Structures are given as structure tokens and as C-alpha cells.
Structure 1
Amino acid sequence: MQRSKPKRRAQADEGPRRSFLCTHDGCGKAFSRSEHLHRHEKNHTDGDATCGRCRAHFKRQDLLERHMSRHRRKDEEAGGEGVLNTRKRMWKDHAGQIVQKKPVEKTALGNANLGTSSIPQTDGPISPPVSSHHSDLPSDSDPTLTPFTNDHYQLSAGSLNVQGANGYWVPPEIPQARPFDPFLDINYDEAFQPDTASSFNMPFTTQINYDWLFSLDNNFSSPATSMTPYVVGTNQLTPIDPNQASTLSDTRQYERGTIESPLAPMPSLNYTRSGPSTQDMISRSTSSGESLGPSPPTKLVSPDAYGGNPEVEFERPLATLQKANRLPLIDNYTYTQILEAIKSARPLAPNGSLLDVNHPLLSYPLVQSYCDLYFTRFNTAYPLIHQAAFEPSRKEPLLLLSMILLGATYSDKEMHKLAVCIHDVIRPAIFSHASFNPRPELWMLQTILLVECFGKSRAGQKQHDMSHLFHGMLINLIRRSDCQSVRPTRPYKENESDWVGDHQWRHWVESEEKKRLALLCFMWDTQHAVLFCQSLCMSAFELRLPLPCSQALWEAPSAVEWARISISTTPEPMYLLALKSYITHDVQRISHLNGLSRIIIFHGLMSIFWDMRRRDQTSLGVISLGRRWQSRISAAYQAWKEDFDHFCFGLSDLTLTEMNKRTTSESAKVELDVWRTAYVAVYHAAHVLLHSEFLDIQIFAGARHILGRSVQRTDFMRSEKVVRRWATSCAADNPDGSSDAAAAAWHAALLLQSASHTLVNFDSMGLFHVPWCLYLATLTIWTYHHTSPKGLNLGFGPEDDSELVWDTQAEMRAIVDSMVEAGVDGVPQIQGLKRTGGLVWVMAEVLSKVRWGIVHAGVTVLKGLIPRRLILEFDESLI
């Protein structure tokens, strides 16, 4: 049956178009057609539509018919009588009474009816087997939904032990019995696939997606448990104070017939004013009242009063845990195949001649060094390829070549230029390969992703534009694979490690690589969409898989070591449930998150923000509720930042402990600080973009090309109006009382201060996004002060006064530190009173050393801001 379009809640000033008003007390909805009102009125009755199979009760017959169609679909999938796990909250018992808990089936009082006689009897909840769409998925059931239970398996909040051995039913091919954890599984059919169209068009987010994501009373509690919200800690479930759960009443379940947003306003954010000495804590809310002091220097840092933070396991985000004993070795035969792949592609050398494969920079020792650089520089920052299981002699030459080219970009400048020349001709070789097809193998997807990564972030403007053109193809190929839904299986009990051999380990490695390919591709897609103001190609709702495993498990050198570590490692939570926990952070806290998982989650929040902004821009006149969702996203950002800071503090203590024991390198602490600063830069950049239109800022600052299109005079005039209106916006734009411009400028200052204090010469150790974040922050601060209504225009260097020596570094520190110290509320008082010339000059000089064509285009813009700008007098043909 065709779903009716949602209707807005009737307003007092609406015209006669909606003349059919619901007279039920407290409702007030209006409809344009009488049959719509008649159908709506049934929602206010008890109804008589009950499913004869599962006793689910509905108020309308059409809802029951839709429910029965899902039963039939499950039956077809199961090849018999399937099981439908519905989220229904209303049931009819055998006495004819409407109840909130699913009634016990009379035919299911014995253990023999639980689906298999081999399942031992336990005291915990048991869930029946559910039909699965994919062989890699352990189960399609959702442990947060109502289990199929009897009187012997009653689930109560008081007796629930997260760390206990009791668990939900898992298919017999999965050896482990997972503990009950609301983040380990999710029923995607019920949450995201209400019909066939939604099932086959996953890239297009729907209202149901966001209703699920922003709902506080969905998927986390079961009718069999107390309705009090719970925070998942390490050892127990701790109830939240009822006062903290008051926002539950501000949201409601998805209901067809209304378009009211489920995004309830969040409490205001009181930004902390802080000086340079406390820059690690500058973005924390003063209302939290929680101490984030260093945790005890132990191997595992137990959570303190900072409710619900995870334990911290030692890891090294930009290096391997142990010094690499063996990097993958390229033998002579494999080296010859790599040269043949280069020769057949016929690349041109930097001087324009045909490249000779006997070039000195392509000698065997240097090619091996480029492969080593890939694993020691790129793969440590973006762990895509499993180093211990990687055997070059068994890999395709195109994959090896893509890895070698990326590694070469970390070498000297001459080799970097040569790598760009080879990169320019590698795509035709990929497309003409016999393995390139609509459902390619994993190695082909990895090759295409690495080639795109090279073009977008390690080369010039031409390579960036070409990679952007083929980006959609990569996303579509990933969708056709199982990378977005794979669930790697591994042992969880000691008695299960006996049967684990090399074959099982390598199968897990392949599944984990598929998962990481999808997650890293999503991360880069989000970065380029949000930071460069482009279009999203991949939705967070497509990622129906767990988060990445721990670094120790990922780097296990053998099957035996992998099995040993796996037994002591908790299961990875599902990505979407972890993402939801930060949107509704006052209901649940997630535990056991490693560093990479936290980064992926934050990019999910950025993706949600960018998609919500797109929905606002394409609403076709529907009244925007932007301030409501923006406050929710801002609160989610801050919740993530607080957890991230606490994680980094604990990891820093562990790193110092390991350094004192001489079990890790002396550079580990520096690497951790750089990694933390790099992703704090993303956090502040996300806030800047939340409160500004960066495309307009770039055009106003003098950018000649945006997204491959030349900027015209009319574009500049339009952007100038937008930017000046933004810079002079009132202080009532946001719930915390700050203006958008002040909030954006303040976060930009925090970004630059953090980077200048931690990054030596602003070197981010190869993390791609940092240079662009520095450029974004610099332009934002310059624009904020340059458009000041005070009109002082103190920003162009020593020609403004009689100074003989222009100390650009001191001038940069002066403006950045003053903005940070002023706080978000005090920034408007100093707008236009500080010179920006020193900041612009320093950042232009720093970014000019980055080997990235996109950043060089930004440097050109920055250099144009140092002398007095004449852009308004440019002829249209020159713009």
C-alpha cells in the first residue's frame, strides 16, 4: 500500500486548505481530505486489528496488513515459518486485553521449541533464530528488542549482568555466546527497510532513518525491562537520574500523518573560557562539573565518575604497537611484475618523455623502500591492509603498485613527482583488467580506493578533479559488495581457540579488511564533502557493520596470537548504535571504543550534519527547523569531544608508563599528541562549518575557482552579502546566546592555537586533512575581523604603522590567543580590533610547503590577503 505523505501539525494561521480538523482532546491536527481525517481518527481508538501469529495489536487495518506482509516476506526468506522481530509496543493477550509486553506463547513453554535442542539451558534471555540476508551476518535479530521468552527467562534490570556469560541466541556457525549489550546488534529491516524501495535505495536517507537516530526511546530498551533510561558502564547498568531524562518527553515516535521534526531542542552549551595554558580543555562545557584529571597509569584505565567512559587499552594511533620485525618483502619475480605493470601503462616522465622502467628511482631497493613507507607511514595512520597477513608474491601487481605509489609520496620530492606521473595512467590499467566488473574482488576495491586517495590528497589539482569524477563509481562498487554489512567472526572463549587455524585467521583478516575499506572510504567521503563543501556520496545509514577491532587484535602476527588476543577482547559494537549513542548521549554511553572507532564515529556525526543541512536547502519552502537540529548536532559534537579527551588522557598515561618500562618507542608520546591534535582540528573545523557557509567565505576572500567552476563577479557579490550578514549576526542565533559568526571564529582560533602549540612547524605527520583545516580556520578568522562593522581594517602588516620589523609570529599569537581568552561571548567585543596580516602570512608560508595542489590553491588566496585587496575593481573577465 502506498504510504501517505506526512502532514505538518496544524497551525492557527493555516488557510482553509486543511479544513478537516481532529476534535480529539489535545490533538489539533488538520487534514485537507475527509478520508485522511477518518483514517487518523482510528489512532485515537483501541482498534480491533490483531495479528493472529504474534499477537501484535494495531489501531488500523492498513497497519496490520503491512505487518502481515512482513510476516510473509520473512517466511519466504526462511523457507518456512520465519520469525519477525517487530518493534511494536502494543499487544493483545489471550484474554483479549491490550498490554505493553508481548504475551507468552502457549506453544513455547519448553526448551524444545527454542529452535534447537543443542542450546544449553541458562538463566538469561534467549532469542530465537531469525532469517538472515547474508551468510556473513551472524544474526538478523536485535538484542535490544523483546526476546521470545517464557516464565523461566524473565529479564529484569536488577538481575541483568553485562559482564556475565548469559547471552542471546547466536547461529551454530558462530562459536561465541555474546554477552547482552545493546550495542552489539540491530534489526535493520524494522529500522531502515519499511518497504522495498527503501531497501534498495539505501544511499537516500529517509525520515525513518532520522526518527530512529534522534529518538531517545528506541532500540535501547525492551518492554521486558524497566523504562528508566540506563547508562551502560563497565560492570553494571546504572540508572540515570529521572531529571536528566526529562528530554524523553520532548520526542515522540515516528507517526505517519505529520512532518513535525523529532529533533528536540537541547540544553544550551556554555562554552568554557580558557587561556593558552589550558587549551586541552577549552571546548568543555562549564555545566558538566566533571573532573577529567589523568587516570592511574595502568594497562587498563577504569572509568571514574565520568559516567560511562570506556576502558582505555594501550595503542599507538600513528605507529605499530611493536617495532616491525618483518615488513612485507617484494621478491624479484614480484618486482618484475610491478615494472611490467608500469611499462604497459606507458606513463610520461616529469620531463615529458616516455618513462623508462630502468629509471634509477625505480630500482629494486627503492621500490622496496616505497613499500616500507606505505606500511610505516600511510597504513599506520589509515589501517587498511593487514600487514602480518600480507604476502606481496600472492597479491595483484596493480594493488602493489597503488601501495608503492602512495608510499613514494612520503619519500623525496623527485620521487613524489614521478609517482604522480605513474598515477596519471594507472586508471586505464585498472578498468581494462579482467577482474574489473560490477562485483569486484576485495583487492580491486582496495586498489581503486588507494588510487583515489592518492589523487585527492597527495597530488595536484588535476589529479584531485579526476579522483572526484570517479569517486561515485567506487561508492557504487562498494555498495554491490558485502563490505558495508560484513561481520567478521572470531573466538570469544578459551575452549574455542583449539579449532582456530591459519584458514580461520585469514578469513577473519579478509572480513576485517572489507569492513575497514567501507569505513575508511566513508571517512574520506565525509571529509571531502564537509571540509570542501561538496556532496555526500555515502550515507552513515549504509554502514550496517561493527566498528574496527582493537589495534592489538589487528596487528596479531599469527593465528595463534590472534586467537589468544581475541578471547580477551570484547565484541565490537555496531557502528550505527554507537553513532546513535552520541546523538542521544543522555540515554546511553558506549564502552570499549578504540581510537580509530572514535574517529569514524565523529565523521558519522559530521555526515549527519551535512545531510541535514542539505535537507534544509532542498526543503522546497517547508519551514526550516535548522536551529533545532543544529543544537542537537552541536551537543553531539561536544559529547564526543569530552569522551575523546578522556580517552586521550588515559592513553597518554598508558603511553608514559610503557615508555618508562622501555616497552615502546620514545616517540610514542609525540605521535599521540600529534594524532589527538589532528582530530581535534577536525572537531573545531566541524563547529566552524556548522556556524558558517565556508564556500561564501572562500569566494569573499578571493578564491578564483570553487569545485572546478570559475567564480564570476555575480558570485562574489552574492557571497559578499552573505558573509557580511553572517559577520554582523546578532547574539541570539544559538541556544547558548552566541552568534554564528562568533562561534565559528572562536572555534577557528581554538584550532589554530592547538595546532601551533603541538605540531612542530604545523607538521601533522601525513594526516591528510590538517592543512585544509588550517586554511579553513585562517580564512574564517580573517573574514570575521575584516568584515567588522567597526571598520578599523587593521590587518595588512607593517605598512599600517611605523614599525621597521614585522613580527608575523607574534602578531599571529596575539590575535589567536586574544580570541581564545575572550571566549565565545567575548569575541564580538574584539572583532576588528586585531590585525590579521601576521596570521595570514604565517599560514601561507606554512601551507606552501605542503605537497598538495588543493592547498597550494588556498595559499594563492591567502597571499592575496596580505596587501590591500582590490577584488571589487577586478574586471569580470579576470575573475
Structure 2
Amino acid sequence: MPKEHSCTEPGCGKKFLRAEHLSRHRLNHQPKQIFQCAACPKRFVRKDLLRRHERRHEKGMWFRNSGGVVAEGDNDTASLLHDSTSYTQESPQRALESTAMFTDREQEDDVRMSDESVKMLPYEQEPAETYGEQGPTQTYGEQEPTETYGQMDEIENMQVNNTDFLPALPDQEVTSLFFDPSITIPDPALDFEWLFDNLSADLNNPGGMPSVVSPQSSVSLPGISPPAFGAVQSPVRIRHSISSQSSGSSPWAEVRTNLLKALNSLTQDVLMSSFFYPNNLAGFWDLYFENYHPHFPILHKPTLDPVSASPLQVAAIVTLGSTLSGDAGHFDVANKIHDSLRYIIFGTPDFDPPASLWCVQTLLIIQAHEKMFSTRKHHQLAHIFHGAIITLMKRGVAYQHTTHAPGSTATERSWHQWVEIQASNRTAFFGFVMDAQHTFMFGHTCILSVHDVRLPLPCADVLWECSRPEEWDRMMRKTPESPGFLPVLKRLLARTPIPPHCSAFSRLILLHGLFSVTAHLKARDSVTLGVGRGGPSTANSPRLDAIDTWKETVERAMDIWSFSLVSRSSSLALEASRPLHRMAYAAIYTDINDIHILAGAPSLLGSMLSATDRMRATARVRAWSQSHDSKKALYHCLLLIQETIFTGQLYSAASDNIALRPWSIYHAALILWAYGAMARERSNPQHEQQRISYSAEEYLVRMLMLLRNESDQVDVIAQETSELLLAVRESLEGCRWELLQEAWETLGRLIK
């Protein structure tokens, strides 16, 4: 009988045939170093086990005790099933794998791992393992005692069990929506370096990327792109007649009762308003799902019942829907509800971390409402609480897998489980989209980085819209898997087209990935002022050449992304992307805060500005107007206004169901005005009497022509912005959003 090596730790008593196995086992009790998986909550006491675990993520696996399985078609399925002892045939093949993805960055970290890491025997030397239905056992080729590990495979995973290192949260019920950077904090100066790695290699590899010609590059103008293909849809708000259901028999009567009970702290004049009439609530609900849901499909409409859903979530949905109703009184009531709605949610038990998924979704819908449809006070409060919501999402969301009916089938259980996880991923992406979008649109600081979103892109719309488990199961078998967000974004920067099966929402997300990269690299350039780049300290980092020319790289990526706008089918998500696509170019080359200050517009951040602030902003805009970069921003601003206002149909921002399109054309007008103001400052006063006034359309046509030809006459025409500002101002007439009302007033002052 071979000698046994027993663990002497109190309460353990496990036995091993080899001393080195016992030595490795002791690391569970007294770890020397903890290794955190970047893609899931698992932690390890050995680097080689972390690497093995990460390779399983690459194959589409999640983590043990969470029902994760390998993707369909994996030849190694039989040998890898032990990664999830809770695997059953009823589990959907891709239901839980979407919670996290392994990224290229971790692969690079492995390659850079120095020889100074803790030396461990390679895992190939560990005992061979066989797995039966009763769980893992070890065989040594002879009649040896069996070691039982229960639910966890100790020799392979050696996951830290000490509660000091890992919170005792059930993996299947709680997951973080974002990667938590508190585990490993990267070097800020090189944080984006890996995204630009091997760009030249990718471009020069004929087998790695198909040769494409962007619809943005058909005109031979260096550095300036023409408009994308595809006719711009007319921005018309979708209005529906309010439902005429009987208030006595309609389920919306019960919804009304639930709402009044949940919002009982509001004043009586609000609670007794016609806003809460059942037929009005039903109409607001429909308006939301027909106008806003396609922008950010984070809710699963087939399973969302307004009667059984949280009344606070229903309140957020109907108040946002009411912004499209024809009754201005209902719009005012919605604003009064939002004076208290967020704080009522803060007081619910579901808000405590880990928050329930409905709670996080509701807070994000509230933020969308207050940032883009309500008062300036609400806009600023939404900005203040944005960071708190992101922190809450990083703490995790609680799933409700155990709430399904006892008699439900395996397919039904799998469907509901899949819906919850898909909804949580979509919710995380919605938070990321608003974070990236509002950095340029409102001058807010970017809290999230693309590295924080290590998730697969949302599934195809046809799969998300399935209303029955059987339909979902059938579609699941023939729908391609969604690729990972970070790998697709990196390939996009290498000018590789987006996979054709990516949904419209996924393409909107990728556009905001470029927004986020732009915001962070602009901040890096602002902080470092270029100091230290290109010096000896960076000589061994070939990626810095690419990252130092990031503006050209991101601009080319946007050219490739523009193919998303060439679509046979209409999509509100892609229609919303059109103005944002133009603004994404402008975001590279302009600082909208400085232009707001120059124009004397109300501060985007609500802060008081001194005379010194205005002088510095004016100096920066003056320097910007003299650079070639400004011409690129002007070009896309001109196209945005042309594509929105001068399409042959009257455009009215008050009836637009694309939330940020009016704000985008306002920004475009300010950028054009700022350049014209600086050009007038540089012009010869003797030429003042020779100025010719141009209509808005003449201004657009002449400016586009001069920019394409890189003419020296750009500064002469650029000064004549009055008619253009007037046209933009007229399009903003009658908007309810207070920031657009301020924009209307600002344009009036600039015209005078």
C-alpha cells in the first residue's frame, strides 16, 4: 500500500498519494498569492490553474456550479463537461455562457508573465481524472483509495474557499454586470494599448481581412469622407390613439391600483391626475415599446406583464412613454413623478446590493428620461447619480431562477433563465452606451471603459422577440452565436467589417465603443500633453505607434462601421445611429464644452464660469479653428444638418422619436458657428463690406464643395452662418425638453 500524505489542517483530513499534491492542496488553506479570473468571479491559488480555467472561457464555458456548458459542436465536449458538475441535458447550450468572455488582453498578460511567477508542476503531471454520474474520482492505475471532492474539483480548480478572499454569494443567483477594476488596475497610460496591437499586421494580412471599400471613402479627398449610402428616413414620431379599453374590466385598472399604492407618497393632485387613467397608462405603455424600446431593448416584452411587474418599473416605462403623448399636462405630471421616483426605489429592499435586475433596469430608464426629456434639474441629478448606478451594477444583480412555477417544463425553465441573463447583458450595455454617449453630448466624464464590458454582444432580434419557449428553443438551434464585444471592437479598429449576423442594437453598441475609446484617448492626451510618448521608455512597445495616431485609426473604424447604415430593413436603432455616427466623427476633433462656453450657452455641467474660463476656452477654440482637424469636424456637421433638415420634408424636433437627433443638430450648428466666428476674427476688416449673405442650403452646398476641394475660400463662406442657425432654430421650435428650449434661445442670441 503506497504511503498516504494527509492534510493536517483542522477539519480537512484529505489524503494524497504524492507529497507535491499535498503541497498544492495546502495552498487552499494558506494561499501565497490569489489569482483573479478577469471574466468571472472565480479566484485561484495557482497561476497555471487560472490559465487552464481561462482557456475554457475561450471555448465558451462559464464557471463551475453555474450550469455553464461548452458551445455546440465542440469536439472536446466529453473531456470538458467536468467544468460544470451541474450540467444537465435540459440546460440551453448557450444560456449561461454569455455572462462573461475571455479577451485578448488576458492572453497578452499570459505571454508577458515572467519566470518569477510561482513555480508549480504543470497540470499535465496531475493524476488523470475520470468523471461518472456520481461526480469526480481519481484513479492511479492500481487499487488506490478514492478521493472525494464533492461539487468542486479541488486538484484542478483550487478555488479559494476562505471568505476573506471570496464573498459567499451563490454563483447561480448573483453576477456582476461589469468587470470590477478594483482587482487589477492597469496602467492608465497604456490601458488602451492592446486595442491597437497588430493593426498594421491585420491590415497587411490578405487572409485576415477581406478587402473593403467604405461608402464613406468614394470621394478622393484626403482626410474628409463623403456621406454614407442609404436614404435617411423621415424622423416622424409614431403616435397612437389612446386605448379605449373599459377602465372597469381592463387589466390596466389593476395596474393603476398598483401604481397608486407604490407612489402613495406623491401629492394628491398628481395621484388624482388623468395620467393614471387605465386607458392613458395603456397608451403610454404602447408608446414606450414602439418608440423607445427599439433604441435600447433591455426589457423582454413577451414575458413582461404590467400587472405582475414591479409598479415602480411600470412607472418608469409609462412616464417615458408619456413624453410622446400629445397632452402637455401628462408630460408635466411625468416630471412631477420623477421628482420622487428615484428616491422611492432607493428605499426598496431590492435596491440593496446585489440589486434585483428590475431595479437596475428601472434606474437606467429613469436616467434616460431625465437626461434627455425632462428639466435641467432632472438632467443634472441624473448625471450625479450615474456613477452610483454604475457602482451598483458592478456590485452585481440578483437573478430569480427559483421563482418559476413547479410545473414548468425544462424548456420553459431554460428559456426564463436565458431571458434573465440576456436581459442583464443588455442592461449592462445600455449603461455603457449612455456613459459613452453623454461624454460628448453633454460633456460628462466617462466612468466606464471598454475593458469593463467583457460580454458577448446581444443576441439576434428574432431570438429576443420569441414569445414562446418552443419558438425560442427552435430559433436557438439555428441562430448564430453572438460574438464578443471586445474582439469585434478590436477587429473594427483593424478595419475588419462587423459580422453580418450582429443585430442593430449590437451595431449601436459598437458605435458607442468607438465613442468610449475616443473619450478615453482624448483624456489621456489631455493629461499627458504628449510627454514621455515616443521616448526611450516606450521604445519596446511597438503598439504605441498605432495608439499615437489613434484619431486616424478610430476614424477609419467609423468608416467601416458606416456599412451598418446600408440596410434593406428599417431599424429604429440604426436610425438613431445616423446622427450619432456623425457626432462620433466630430467628437474626435472637437471639445463641445469649449464651444458651449464660447457661444455663451448655459453650462452643460451646471457650473459657474469665470472670465478666465471663458478666455481659456476661446483660446482653445481659436487654436482648433486653425488646425486641419477642424475641417473634418465641419464636414460631418454639415452632412448631419443636410441629412436631417434639408431632405425635402419639414423636420420638427418636437415630433422626433430619436431622442438625441435634435441635440446633435444643435451641436453641429454650434460647431459651424464657432468656426465661422473664429474665421471672421481672422478676416481682413476691409472685406467686411464685400460679404455676401447665403441661404442655409447655399451655405451647406458651398461649404461641402470647398471642404472637398480643400479650398482656401472656406473661411470666407464659413462666416455666413446666420441663415443656417435660423433654420436649425426653427426646427427646434416647441420642444418640451428644457435643454432644447435653452438651445433654441442660444441660437437666437447667436443670430442677433
Task: Specify which of 174, 177, 200 is matched with residue 182 of structure 2.
Answer: 200
1:208-227 to structure 2, matched below 5 A, reads 209-216=191-198
Alignment-mate amino acid for residue 466 of structure 1: L
Distance across 2 between alignment mates of 1:395 and 1:637:
43
1:132 equivalent to 2:67? Answer no
Residue-pair matches, total: 612
The percentage of counterpart residues that share the same residue type is: 23
1:717 equivalent to 2:607? Answer no
Alignment-mate amino acid for residue 708 of structure 1: G
Deviation by residue 1:816-859 (Cα, 9 ceiling, x = unmatched): 12222233552652223252101111112212333222222222
1:761 equivalent to 2:679? Answer no
**CA distance 1:480–1:230, shift in 2 (3 Å):** farther
**CA distance 1:185–1:376, shift in 2 (3 Å):** same
How much has 1:442 moved relative to structure 2?
0.5
Task: Specify which of 704, 722, 725 is matched with residue 840 of structure 1.
Answer: 725
Deviation by residue 1:156-193 (Cα, 9 ceiling, x = unmatched): xxxxxxx9875775656365499xxxx97537755579
Deviation by residue 1:10-55 (Cα, 9 ceiling, x = unmatched): xxxxxxxxxxxxxxxxxxxxxxxxxxxxxxxxxxxxxxxxxx99xx
Deviation by residue 1:354-378 (Cα, 9 ceiling, x = unmatched): 5252323321211221122121222
**CA distance 1:628–1:268, shift in 2 (3 Å):** farther
1:541-580 to structure 2, matched below 5 A, reads 541-580=451-490
Distance across 2 between alignment mates of 1:362 and 1:617:
50
Alignment-mate amino acid for residue 660 of structure 2: H
What is aligned with 1:521? 431
Aligned 8 A contact 1:318 1:380 in 2: no
How much has 1:211 moved relative to structure 2?
2.9
**CA distance 1:137–1:445, shift in 2 (3 Å):** farther
1:639 equivalent to 2:639? Answer no
**CA distance 1:184–1:481, shift in 2 (3 Å):** closer
1:848-859 to structure 2, matched below 5 A, reads 848-859=733-744
Aligned 8 A contact 1:71 1:83 in 2: no
1:752 equivalent to 2:641? Answer yes
Task: Specify which of 666, 669, 682 is matched with residue 778 of structure 1.
Answer: 669
Structure 1 residues without counterparts, runs of 5 or longer: 1-51, 54-65, 89-113, 116-125, 144-162, 221-226, 232-237, 245-266, 285-291, 295-316, 348-353, 489-497, 656-667, 730-738, 804-809, 868-879
1:371 equivalent to 2:302? Answer no
Aligned 8 A contact 2:439 2:445 in 1: yes
Q: Helix, strand or coil: the match of 2:520?
A: helix
Q: Helix, strand or coil: the match of 1:714?
A: helix
How big is the alpha-carbon RMSD for the aligned residues of Structure 1 and Structure 2? 4.8
Alignment-mate amino acid for residue 510 of structure 1: E
Q: Helix, strand or coil: the match of 2:374?
A: coil
Distance across 1 between alignment mates of 2:214 and 2:532:
22
What is aligned with 2:145? none
Distance across 2 between alignment mates of 1:802 and 1:832:
9
Q: Helix, strand or coil: the match of 1:333?
A: helix
**CA distance 1:293–1:832, shift in 2 (3 Å):** closer
1:610 equivalent to 2:519? Answer yes
Alignment-mate amino acid for residue 777 of structure 1: A
Distance across 2 between alignment mates of 1:718 and 1:208:
29
Task: Specify which of 24, 32, 51 is matched with residue 85 of structure 1.
Answer: 51
What is aligned with 1:351? none
**CA distance 1:192–1:524, shift in 2 (3 Å):** farther
Alignment-mate amino acid for residue 212 of structure 1: W
Q: Helix, strand or coil: the match of 1:833?
A: helix
What is aligned with 1:313? none
How much has 1:552 moved relative to structure 2?
0.7
Distance across 2 between alignment mates of 1:640 and 1:623:
29
Aligned 8 A contact 1:602 1:640 in 2: yes
Distance across 1 between alignment mates of 2:612 and 2:41:
60
How much has 1:812 moved relative to structure 2?
1.1
Choose between structure 1 and 2: higher helix proportion. 2
Distance across 1 between alignment mates of 2:638 and 2:519:
22
Aligned 8 A contact 2:285 2:318 in 1: yes
1:727 equivalent to 2:645? Answer no
Alignment-mate amino acid for residue 860 of structure 1: E
How much has 1:554 moved relative to structure 2?
0.8
1:458 equivalent to 2:368? Answer no
Structure 2 residues without counterparts, runs of 5 or longer: 1-19, 22-30, 118-164, 166-178, 402-407, 535-543
**CA distance 1:84–1:384, shift in 2 (3 Å):** closer
1:425 equivalent to 2:425? Answer no
1:826 equivalent to 2:724? Answer no
Distance across 2 between alignment mates of 1:383 and 1:827:
45
Distance across 1 between alignment mates of 2:395 and 2:364:
15
Query: Could you tell me the TM-score, scaled by structure 2's length?
Result: 0.70
Q: Helix, strand or coil: the match of 1:435?
A: helix
Aligned 8 A contact 1:86 1:190 in 2: no
Deviation by residue 1:771-822 (Cα, 9 ceiling, x = unmatched): 22111110111111221155279999xx99999xxxxxx7111111222223
Alignment-mate amino acid for residue 840 of structure 1: L
The answer to which of 779-788 and 765-774 deviates more is: 765-774
How much has 1:270 moved relative to structure 2?
9.8
Q: Helix, strand or coil: the match of 1:381?
A: coil
Alignment-mate amino acid for residue 282 of structure 2: Q
Alignment-mate amino acid for residue 852 of structure 1: W
Q: Helix, strand or coil: the match of 2:66?
A: coil
Aligned 8 A contact 1:230 1:240 in 2: yes
Distance across 2 between alignment mates of 1:503 and 1:558:
12
Alignment-mate amino acid for residue 671 of structure 2: T
Distance across 1 between alignment mates of 2:208 and 2:703:
40
Q: Helix, strand or coil: the match of 1:379?
A: coil
How much has 1:202 moved relative to structure 2?
6.7
What is aligned with 1:149? none
What is aligned with 1:598? 507
